[in-house]
């Protein structure tokens, strides 16, 4: 019976030690994930805000183009191209910043190299998809502009 008590005590201490050792890492990983999610939300809000502002500033131009015969697909392409340029430039700057920051945080990375191409590709695809959704709403709004309302718009 004494051996069983010793084994139980050993298991309890080992479990407490494991929690203490890896608890800080788990907390750090959770905080990093929360910050990443917050960054993604800020990126979506930023792209949406920039695109909404650009569409509102170009309302008269869009209305004039529609009045002169531009099709909805032409308007979608024009505004979508502008959004794609914004997203592509943001991805390029972010990629370079991530490469620079990857070296500084390489001690904290577990199982991932600081310049892992799969990680960079996955994050870039995720950000591009989210930015596309954020750009889609103002782009659709631009395509539905009524030329008479837009030309009267001040």
End-to-end distance of the chain based on CA atoms, in angstroms? Answer: 89
The model's pTM: 0.68
Q: Note the pLDDT of residue 23.
A: 77
Q: Is residue 14 part of a domain?
A: no
Q: Is residue 73 part of a domain?
A: yes
Place of tokens 């990126």: 43
Q: Is residue 29 part of a domain?
A: no
Residue 66: Cβ-neighbour burial (10 angstroms; 0-12, 13-18, 19+): buried
**Count of domains in the chain?**
1
Measured CA to CA in angstroms, residue 71 lies from 74, 96, 136, 153 at distances of 5, 38, 17, 20
Q: Is residue 4 part of a domain?
A: no
Domain that residue 51 falls in: 35-152
Question: What mean pLDDT is predicted for residues 80-104?
Answer: 87
Q: Is residue 56 part of a domain?
A: yes
The string of pLDDT tens digits covering residues 8-60 is: 777 788 777 777 777 777 788 788 889 989 988 898 888 888 888 888 888 88
Is 72 a residue whose pLDDT tops 90?
Answer: no
Name which of 124, 115, 134, 63 is nearest 90 in CA terms.
124
Q: Is residue 8 part of a domain?
A: no
Residue 2's pLDDT band, with cuts at 50, 70 and 90, is low
Q: Is residue 88 part of a domain?
A: yes
Write the Ramachandran bin of 116: left for phi over 0, alpha for psi from -120 to 50, otherwise beta. Answer: beta
Helix (H, G, I), strand (E, B), or coil: what is residue 74?
helix
The string of pLDDT tens digits covering residues 111-150 is: 777 788 888 898 889 888 888 888 888 888 878 878 787 7
Q: Is residue 7 part of a domain?
A: no
């Amino acid at each position: 019976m004494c051996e069983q008590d010793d084994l139980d005590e050993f298991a309890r201490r080992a479990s407490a030690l494991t929690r203490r050792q890896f608890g800080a890492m788990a907390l750090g990983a959770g905080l990093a994930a929360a910050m990443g999610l917050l960054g993604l939300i800020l990126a979506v809000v930023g792209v949406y805000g920039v695109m909404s502002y650009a569409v509102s500033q170009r309302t008269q131009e869009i209305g004039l183009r529609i009045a002169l015969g531009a099709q909805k697909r032409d308007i979608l392409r024009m505004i979508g191209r502008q959004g794609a340029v914004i997203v592509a430039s943001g991805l390029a700057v972010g990629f370079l910043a991530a490469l620079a920051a990857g070296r500084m945080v390489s001690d904290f990375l577990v199982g991932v190299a600081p310049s892992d191409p799969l990680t960079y590709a996955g994050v870039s695809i995720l950000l591009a998809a989210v930015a596309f959704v954020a750009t889609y709403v103002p782009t659709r709004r631009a395509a539905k502009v009524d030329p008479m309302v837009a030309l009267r718009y001040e």
